[in-house]
Structure 1
Amino acid sequence: MLSLIHSLCPTVLAAVTLLGVANAQGQAPLLPLSNDSSISFELLVSLGEAIYGGADIAPILGAALDITPGNFSGFSNTFRILADATKAAAQDPTNAYDLINVRDTWFSASDYYRRADFYLHSNWSDPLIYTYWQEQTAAFDNGIAALPVPGKRIQISADNFTIEAIWFATSLEDTKKPTLILGTGYDNAQEDLYHTLVVPALARGYNCLTYEGPGQPSVVRGQHLGFIPEWERVVTPIVDYLLTDLAPQVDASRLALLGYSFGGYLAARAAAFEPRLSAVLLDGGVWDFYSGIIKQIPANLQDLYTSGNKSAFDAAVLGILNDDTAPSTARWGLAQGLWSFQLTSPYDFINATKAYALKDVASQIQMPVWIANSEYDGYFPGQAQVVAAAIGENAVVHNFTGVAGNHCQIGANQELSRTVFAWLHQTLNN
């Protein structure tokens, strides 16, 4: 997402790369699925979720063959066709005897509808943004309803907004279990977290609650609210809910919070104000959102931004949204930033990111903290170590390298889960 800023003037278009493709440390060993690095990365997201029942492999590889680099509408339509066909298979009465297969088919349909939505956010009035999300939600709900312990959507009241969450329990009985709160970040949905970390968590005996707050998919669509920096306003009501409404099932002494992607900032910020957490995991560490962005802006546009000439800066930046010659990462990243912050001005968006920094609160984090440092993560390179140093002796950094070294270990979910749960086991059981 930060790489989008490279594209804001023609002289640097060629320098824009997919996050994780290149940074000061060299070339990441990506497995290309498209000549378009952004599309390749998004295809790898679905492939990564396949190992935990979130998709099927051959259909995604087949879709990759039909997608033209840079063609966002074509990408969306290809996955819509795949999603519709997968939904029809889930509804086929001849398959009803096999509830496990039908459940997994619904999960795949949900994933494909989420991919169909991914590149649509430059036009907020596009009805498909809502149609595809309704489809993915309904498909996912059919899947979690067929789990051995059905998942349950819940709404948690916060101050002036509602948190959308899903509860996954290991048992139908009232037995206190370690519980993991899982939040995503800049763009992914809580449904993606099920196929990334919830499945391996349940297998290891953890209850899970996934959630979305302002700026995240269901809250943006349902409540039209963009991100807020004070993420304790989201997490504290969740902890209250878990320790009251779900108290018979939650071991309060083993309550962990994980922030995924930009959620690395969100979870750390919340942890500074929520002492009831037993442990926090940041994948990865985000020290300062603004500094990560501003360093990517070419000098001439930095000067334009710092001059305060909002109209000129906005005009220069907004020109890429409908420019098919601009790199896909740039077009998507800008559109997603405006959508998820619910802002129409790039100037205002960059200004808003200044509030997302840990320097004034990191020292307040008192529980054990695990921080992922991905070798080829182009979002916030080097910031994991800064976060760890500011937290102090409670923090540990885990370095992911090689093919697991891309942002959030996309496509290496087994390595992510075994690393996360090894640390949690040691931390929560000592």
Structure 2
Amino acid sequence: MTLFKDPGFNFNGLLALGSSGYGAGEVGEVLTAVNTINKAGLSAQTYTETFRKLGDQLMAAPQGSRPGAQTTRFRALRAAQYYAQALFFVLGSDSPGIEEQLYKAGRGAWDKFCGLCDPAPVTAHIPYGRTPLPVWFFRPDDSGRRRPTVILTNGSDGQNVDMWTYGVPAALDRGWNALVYDGPGQGQLLFVDQVVFTPRWETVVTPLVDWLSARSDVDTGKIALTGLSMAGDLAPRAAVFERRIAALVAMPGVLSPWLGFPPEIREILTPDKEKTNNIWNKEVVPELPPSAAATMKKRIEPFSVPAMLAARQGKMFTDFYTPATLIKSLDITDVVGRIKMPTLVLDYAYEQFYPGQPRQMFDKLTAPKDYVKLTAATGAQLHCSPMAPQQHCEVVFDWLQETLPRG
């Protein structure tokens, strides 16, 4: 299961490889890129450069042929994956300033793919504060039939293409609609509009439910909400307050994203902003090796525009207190017991970021609930089962269909 010796790069490589099951990657392309990167010497630079070039190649016409619509469509989907791979590590590369450009390349590939779907997803911009939420509403067909609908919520560093891998085709194949969206701290709202995460995710989901409820092709009594990765915190938070959600899936269950950070980083945060930032700038930052510095820039940027802009200039952010306080405010330990709708909590063997939290969430739930742990016995281990998204979707959608049966 080892593509790269570094576990961070390896996890992302496995995500790209696993996405091939839904056409959002190609085994040969990914493994060839892995070999190229390892041969050149694994680094953020070689990783970003290799996957960006692969995305560029797929967005161009293949040599010696005139591609049909389906070929163009799926080449664009794979390009979206490879641009996302490059985007993930660009802040640690020699060209961190191309981050927004890389995001737009991936978004362009995603939009091209969507435009060639049949039927193409309905697109809209749903009001949210000063910055509307872009949405893509996928339907099995354009018959207008009322169907159960799942709202797919991304995590803190995923892209739209990940929502394809973790839900859209699985929903469509089962006769469900699927809504993909960028919320604050994600996609367009982060990289272009510069809007960071909010701890009040119900303010994001409620406008989505309003929009869906106004559609004649949505069964308003069967709207489900899923949350992947850190959205295993966001989606349950929204479900506490948005009671029109009929079923909830946390993938995995997350009570406190702050606990996903190393203890030596968490202990820096004190109630005093000046003291906290002095420790960060004078004691921590000078000792950070380049790889750890790049990781911190990436993990903090969805919570701090100044941190993102500094990282794009190759600099480390100086205000640790503000984003750390925001991340800490995402804790839902005290409210999760108020969830009323049936809830599925997923867990994973060797969960890297939130070990123990899925079970803790499950124990706190008072609503009808189920707990499923995906394991190494079938290659579904690690955070979000990167090697087994098809198994992942089977578990989620079998549960959803049983919980919200059609008819």
TM-score, normalised to structure 2's length? 0.89
CA deviation vs aligned residue, 1:202-233 (integer Å, no higher than 9, x gap): 11111000111111121012221111100001
Q: Please report the RMSD computed on the Cα atoms of aligned residues, expressed in angstroms.
A: 2.2
Matched, 1:399 2:373: yes
Partner of 1:311: 277
Question: In the aligned structure 1, how far is the partner of 2:65 from the partner of 2:42?
Answer: 39
Unaligned runs of 5+ in 2: 308-316
Matched, 1:340 2:340: no
Within-5 A mapping of 1:405-416: 405-416=381-392
Cα 1:99–1:47 shift into 2, 3 Å: same
Q: 1:349 aligns with which of 323, 336, 358?
A: 323
Q: 2:46 aligns with which of 74, 81, 90?
A: 74
Deviation at 1:127, TM superposition (A): 3.9
Partner of 2:65: 94
Unaligned runs of 5+ in 1: 1-30
Partner of 1:359: 333
Cα 1:320–1:151 shift into 2, 3 Å: farther
Q: 1:85 aligns with which of 45, 57, 60?
A: 57
Question: In the aligned structure 2, how far is the partner of 1:83 from the partner of 1:142?
Answer: 13
Contact 2:339 / 2:367 at 8 angstroms: preserved in 1?
A: no
Q: Given residue 95 of structure 1, which amino acid in structure 2 is its aligned partner?
A: R
Which stretch of the first structure deviates more once superposed, 120-129 or 415-424?
120-129
Seq. identity, %? 27
CA deviation vs aligned residue, 1:373-393 (integer Å, no higher than 9, x gap): 112112111111221222224
TM-score, normalised to structure 1's length? 0.85
Partner of 2:248: 280
Cα 1:358–1:138 shift into 2, 3 Å: same
Partner of 1:421: 397
Cα 1:302–1:134 shift into 2, 3 Å: closer
Partner of 1:26: none
Matched, 1:183 2:145: no
Deviation at 1:292, TM superposition (A): 4.0
Q: What SS is found at the alignment partner of 1:313? A: helix
Cα 1:143–1:225 shift into 2, 3 Å: same
Cα 1:302–1:359 shift into 2, 3 Å: closer
Question: In the aligned structure 2, how far is the partner of 1:106 from the partner of 1:302?
Answer: 40
Greater relative contact order structure (CA < 8 Å, 6+ sep): 1
Q: Given residue 284 of structure 2, which amino acid in structure 1 is its aligned partner?
A: V
Matched, 1:297 2:259: no
Partner of 1:368: 342
Cα 1:383–1:101 shift into 2, 3 Å: same
Contact 1:264 / 1:282 at 8 angstroms: preserved in 2?
A: yes
Cα 1:392–1:127 shift into 2, 3 Å: same
Count of residue pairs brought into register by the alignment = 387
Contact 2:48 / 2:93 at 8 angstroms: preserved in 1?
A: no
Contact 2:44 / 2:93 at 8 angstroms: preserved in 1?
A: no
Question: In the aligned structure 2, how far is the partner of 1:122 from the partner of 1:35?
Answer: 17
Contact 1:111 / 1:136 at 8 angstroms: preserved in 2?
A: yes
Cα 1:70–1:190 shift into 2, 3 Å: same
Contact 2:338 / 2:366 at 8 angstroms: preserved in 1?
A: no
Q: Given residue 56 of structure 1, which amino acid in structure 2 is its aligned partner?
A: E
